[in-house]
Structure 1
């Protein structure tokens, strides 16, 4: 959904519904939540909410809550007084003070500690807080825009997020559709990103894509959404060298290689990182978890293993169905039939 000049781009019905909701919500001086998968452009939506509001000429502050430990999160949000902690030599304003009369975008808001959530709730309710290490009450007027890719109501039910804070934040919720639900936007975005990368490569023109490349992009499920699409397109353009022929080599997984190291699981032992090689499940002598000494439903076991294999191969090829079918030496129609049989078609 994001281009290099920070413009939202799309032509699908889902995209127009999204932009319409943003336009209607932007002028309202209320907290907002933006929910969506990784790579869907939540920060861009937050910026649009700010710049289409009456606060457009004021500060738009952004902070990733997951990027800071709890000890630094509060001082970053609320600022601190001299001597509040080691290294605090002078007073520092927090994001709330800097964003006064503007907007504050809190990305990954679901990762905030309960203590920070409590202080955030107070700011939303009363518009006041104290700097870390201080006792002076500071009043601010800030619009909060939160974003996350987790289910906040479920997190609240599990005791990991405050219900009262969720109530204050969720005046309205903008749920961003994933790219797989915006089929009409895939080629539009791919063309846009391709032209931008061709310009960066100083090509005289952008030659477009082959039919096979277009088909592959339309069939792919895009788990990384628009951010992943941008990476895939830019990688394809730079690998094409001169741009004289339509681009046909679309690589979804840049890690795919016959020389790729075996997967390892990292664990801690006596404070030291230890690598464990993940067993090769292709070994036909492995244990399939079936006790052959006791009666069991053969068809059910085979059906379960079949579904597990299809799911694993789909993940391996980043949900590219044609590559997955080829890997299993099946025709595309056969593979689609198996996906339908096991209810794997979205």
Structure 2
């Protein structure tokens, strides 16, 4: 249990306030919704809430709704009888039955199909459900925790999420602070991830970061939040030849073999305050090059420039003295 409770790291006001909200909500046996960006630690928050609750010694069952085909979510949640559908050779329990007396965490809850939402609503209201292929009600006592980055209120207004279910699941709605708002925690987390990967690689000594790397880490916005930070730090440690990290790669997909095409500005000594003069010269250069390649056939030149003949004639008249 304690590993789950103590796995969060931080000392920022945002982090500590959020942990206090989790502790308070854990004591009340009601549904909770976590709203947060990708990689911000929604499952960790749900786990902490469960292990701080009175259900701590009962099952903590999870289901990532984004990881399953919508047609399979119903059987995953409610189970199925033998022969319920083609390929159902044996009876199988669902997550609601497995989580009985404990907690069921539904990640990406906004992706639940509407027909499944209706069955969940019945569980929340009456504590019963039926397996797929059966009409026999099964009683269950489960605390539901949901998580999403979607705007569930807007989805409900647009008919994409059942408003009745949203009302019942939103006893408490907690918003996870993104990493960019937890500036005080970023280097704490970076050091934690560095130490962990160093132990895994059996490296000796303490991992340290250069001032330039620390500045990069602080200045970056971390759209992937803690998960992205973890990947960046672990990659930096394992690729470094020493325990002193001098550089980090924020984008692992940056291809060193692809060079950027030179722009119009790259080929000229540009002074930005001469914008109008440069635009004028650029249009003249394009007209001259198109006329050269088309051997002064203006309709062909217009096609080369991907403009209409009338547009070409307008530019030609505008710069006729320079072109001749």
Q: TM-score, normalised by structure 2?
A: 0.78
Say if 1:160 and 1:97 are closer, same or farther in 2 by CA, change over 3 A: same
Match of 1:71 in 2: 71
Find the aligned partners of 1:53 and 1:261 in 2 and give their Cα distance.
Answer: 55
Q: Between Structure 1 and Structure 2, which shows a larger proportion of helix residues?
A: 2
Match of 1:119 in 2: 119
Q: How many Å apart are 1:66 and its aligned residue?
A: 1.3
Find the aligned partners of 1:130 and 1:106 in 2 and give their Cα distance.
Answer: 19
Match of 2:316 in 1: none
Pairing 1:156-171 to 2, within 5 Å after superposition: 156-171=156-171
Say if 1:211 and 1:221 are closer, same or farther in 2 by CA, change over 3 A: same
Q: 2:247 aligns with which of 246, 249, 269?
A: 249
Match of 2:175 in 1: 175
SS in 1 for 2:245: coil
Find the aligned partners of 1:77 and 1:10 in 2 and give their Cα distance.
Answer: 34
SS in 2 for 1:250: coil
Match of 2:232 in 1: 232
- Select the structure of larger CA radius of gyration: 2
Match of 2:13 in 1: 13
Say if 1:224 and 1:6 are closer, same or farther in 2 by CA, change over 3 A: farther
Q: TM-score, normalised by structure 1?
A: 0.73
CA RMSD of aligned residues (A): 2.3
Pairing 1:1-346 to 2, within 5 Å after superposition: 7-243=7-243, 246-260=244-258, 284=264
Misfit runs of 4+, over 4 Å = 3-6, 282-285
Find the aligned partners of 2:161 and 2:88 in 1 and give their Cα distance.
Answer: 30
Q: How many Å apart are 1:5 and its aligned residue?
A: 10
Q: How many Å apart are 1:258 and its aligned residue?
A: 3.1
Does the CA-based 8 Å contact 1:6-1:44 persist in structure 2?
A: no
Q: How many Å apart are 1:157 and its aligned residue?
A: 1.2
Match of 2:312 in 1: none
Q: How many Å apart are 1:206 and its aligned residue?
A: 1.9
SS in 1 for 2:91: coil
Q: How many Å apart are 1:284 and its aligned residue?
A: 5.0
Find the aligned partners of 2:220 and 2:23 in 1 and give their Cα distance.
Answer: 30
Q: How many Å apart are 1:4 and its aligned residue?
A: 10
The answer to which of 217-226 and 201-210 deviates more is 201-210
The one-character-per-residue Cα deviations of 1:54-97 (angstroms, maximum 9, x if unpaired) are 10011110001111122211011000111110111121110000
Does the CA-based 8 Å contact 1:237-1:247 persist in structure 2?
A: yes
**Contiguous gaps of at least 5 residues in structure 1:** 263-279, 286-297, 303-346
The one-character-per-residue Cα deviations of 1:172-222 (angstroms, maximum 9, x if unpaired) are 011000000000000110111111111112111123101111011000000
Match of 2:284 in 1: none
The one-character-per-residue Cα deviations of 1:283-321 (angstroms, maximum 9, x if unpaired) are 659xxxxxxxxxxxx99xx9xxxxxxxxxxxxxxxxxxx
Does the CA-based 8 Å contact 1:203-1:242 persist in structure 2?
A: no
Find the aligned partners of 1:162 and 1:283 in 2 and give their Cα distance.
Answer: 51
Count of equivalent residues: 266
Find the aligned partners of 1:173 and 1:249 in 2 and give their Cα distance.
Answer: 39
SS in 1 for 2:144: strand
Find the aligned partners of 1:207 and 1:192 in 2 and give their Cα distance.
Answer: 10
Find the aligned partners of 1:259 and 1:169 in 2 and give their Cα distance.
Answer: 50
Q: How many Å apart are 1:241 and its aligned residue?
A: 2.6
Find the aligned partners of 1:6 and 1:160 in 2 and give their Cα distance.
Answer: 37
